[in-house]
Structure formats: structure tokens, C-alpha cells
Amino acid sequence: MSLLNISCKKAAYLISKKEQGKINLFDRVTLSMHLSICSLCKLFEEQTGLIIRNTKHTHTEEKLPEEVKERIVEKILEEK
Amino acid sequence: MKPSLQADEWVNKYGNMLYNYTLNRVTDKGIAEDLVQETFLSAWRARDSYTADASEKTWLFAICKNKIIDHYRKKSTNKEQYAEADTTSSFFDEAEHWTREDQPNEWGVSYTTTIETKEFYTILEYCKKKLQEMQRNVFVMKYMEDLEAEEICKVLNISSSNYWVIIHRAKLQLRKCIEQNWINS
């Protein structure tokens, strides 16, 4: 195994570092070589990228329970 | 304006918004309710210092964000050293290749666009909830609150190498969970 060959486990970890811009030049080169021949790690990079880009869009539509609202208003009024 | 009327209006106007924001960052409803309450109380106490530079909504959300980060901080101070079972050890075999069970599979969607389906977001929420607490907190602070790694380490009292392990495991878990529940459903 040459110095430039890295495992999928290592590649996946480097993908996480690359995504945050914390990867050195050597790792960047070995990772891109790995990604050019490994479709699974390529998928990992694309799919985690998709998750991260969409993680701020939230669709929860819960309502703060009325009794909690009343409790908060009471507490605020006690503050006066 | 009567203070009573103002407090009422305030809570009605912003209560649900802050609650949903908080619920996306902490999973427990009771804790979310308490954090929203603390947000309103802190804002009320500081209302004299509020200047119209920022909108009232922006101001409230900034307070709420701080309450959530404080909550994470309190939760992590009890832990001497970060240690958790590695739930991602099954992802790779002895040769460090992806195992058949946990390897990424094609989703059949475009990975470069925004996902439009509501189902995706419901599953994303579900999968975030299923992460270990530390993984979830790190993930939320990094990708929902845009905090820098150094700041997250400080808040959670973890080392930089811990941070990288945690955030990477969070991604491995989330990806797998979404594939299992969204693509295979």
C-alpha cells in the first residue's frame, strides 16, 4: 500500500475535515485521489453535503402550549 | 402602554416562533418551554437597554440563542472527559472499507439542490433527535448556529480532537438514518 493510498474510513474522516476547510494539502491530494476511484466515499461526501446545506430549513409547526404562555406572562408581571 | 397588555402581546406574537426555534435545537419539550420562558424574562428585564437598531424579533432570537448555548454548556460541565461508545464502529470492516450494511447507497436525488419535500425535513428532525446528545449539540452549534469549532470546544469543554470525532460520527449516523428512513420508506 503506497503512502498515497488511504482507506475509506480515513477518507470519510477527511471529507468531514475538508467540509470545514480544515484539511492540509497532503490530505487534500490523497483524498481527491481516493474520491476519483471510490464511488461510496463520493456518495458520502455528496449526501452529507446535502444534509448540511438543508439543515437550517426547518418545518416544525408546534405551538407553545397556552398554559405555558399564561405562565410566562404571569412571571413577566411578577417582575415589575 | 399597560405592561400587562404588552407582556401578553409579546408572548402571543413571538412565543410559537421561539418555541419552534428552540425545539429544533433541544429535543425535550419541557426544556424548550423553560428556555423560551427564560428568553422572555431576560428580554423583559433588559427591555430598557433594547435599542431599535435591531428588530425586536432579531433581538429576541439572539437572546434565545444564548439561552440554548448556555443550556448546552451547563449540560457538559458535569462531564469530566468526553467518552461515549462508538456507535459507528460497524460502518467499516477490518480493512477499513465500508461494510455492506452501512455503506452509502444512491438516493436518486440531485445532491446539489435544496430538498423541497416536507418528508425529508421530518426525517431529518427525527434523525437529529436520535443522535447521542453530544453529537446533536455539536452538530446544531456548528450547522444551525454557525459557531466556529474553537468556540464549540470551549462551550462544551471538549478537546479539538474530540470535536472532530464527534462531528464526524454525527454525520455518519445522520446520513445512515436518513437513508434508512427516507429512501427506503
> How would you write the pLDDT of chain B (185 residues) with one tens digit per residue?
345 558 889 899 999 999 999 998 988 899 999 999 999 999 988 887 777 767 888 889 999 999 999 999 988 765 555 566 777 889 999 999 999 999 999 998 999 888 878 888 889 989 999 999 899 999 999 999 999 999 999 999 999 999 999 999 999 999 999 999 987 66
CA B31 – CA A70 distance, rounded (Å):
17
A77 found inside a domain: no
B153 at interface of A, judged by CB pairs closer than 8 A: no
A5 found inside a domain: yes
Domain that holds residue A5: 1-57
A72 found inside a domain: no
CA B88 – CA B75 distance, rounded (Å):
23
- For the segment A41-62, what is each residue's pLDDT rounded down to a tens digit? 999 999 999 999 998 877 778 8
The distance of A21 to chain B (nearest Cα, Å) reads 11
Instruction: Give residue for cell 437550517.
Output: A56
A7 found inside a domain: yes
Instruction: Point out the residue among B36, B41, B103 whose CB comes nearest to the CB of A64.
Output: B36
Q: Grid coordinates representing B11?
A: 408572548
Q: Is the ipTM of this complex over 0.90?
A: no
A69 found inside a domain: no
A42 found inside a domain: yes
Interchain pair B172, A12: CB under 8 A:
yes
Q: Give pLDDT, residue A1.
A: 53
Task: Choose among B73, B64, B84: nearest CA to B162.
Answer: B84
H-type alpha helices, chain B: 3-23, 29-45, 56-77, 118-130, 133-143, 149-156, 160-178
Q: Which long-range contacts (CB under 8 A, 24 or more apart) does B126-130 make?
A: B126/B177, B126/B181, B127/B173, B127/B174, B127/B177, B127/B178, B127/B181, B128/B27, B128/B174, B129/B27, B130/B173, B130/B177
Q: What are the domain boundaries of chain B?
A: 3-77, 89-183
CATH architecture of B3-77: Orthogonal Bundle (1.10)
Q: Grid coordinates representing B81?
A: 472527559
Measured torsion, CA atoms of residues A47, A53, A55, A58, in degrees rounded to the nearest 10: -120
Q: Give pLDDT, residue B81.
A: 53
CATH of domain B89-183: 1.10.10.10
> What's the total number of domains in chain A?
1
Residues 6+ apart with CB under 8 A from B152: B138, B141, B142, B158, B163
B168 at interface of A, judged by CB pairs closer than 8 A: yes
Q: State whether the Cα torsion B150-B152-B156-B162 is positive or negative.
A: negative
Instruction: Point out the residue among A7, A22, A79 whose CB comes nearest to the CB of B41.
Output: A79
Q: What are phi and psi of B111, to 5 degrees?
A: -85, -5
Closest chain A residue to B117 measured between Cα atoms? A59
Instruction: Point out the residue among B3, B120, B143 whose CB comes nearest to the CB of A80.
Output: B3
Q: Give pLDDT, residue B175.
A: 97
A25 found inside a domain: yes
pTM of the model: 0.86
The distance of B115 to chain A (nearest Cα, Å) reads 7
Q: Give pLDDT, residue B89.
A: 84
From chain B, pick out residues whose CB is under 8 angstroms from the CB of A22. Answer: 149
The distance of A18 to chain B (nearest Cα, Å) reads 11
Residues 6+ apart with CB under 8 A from A63: B16, B19
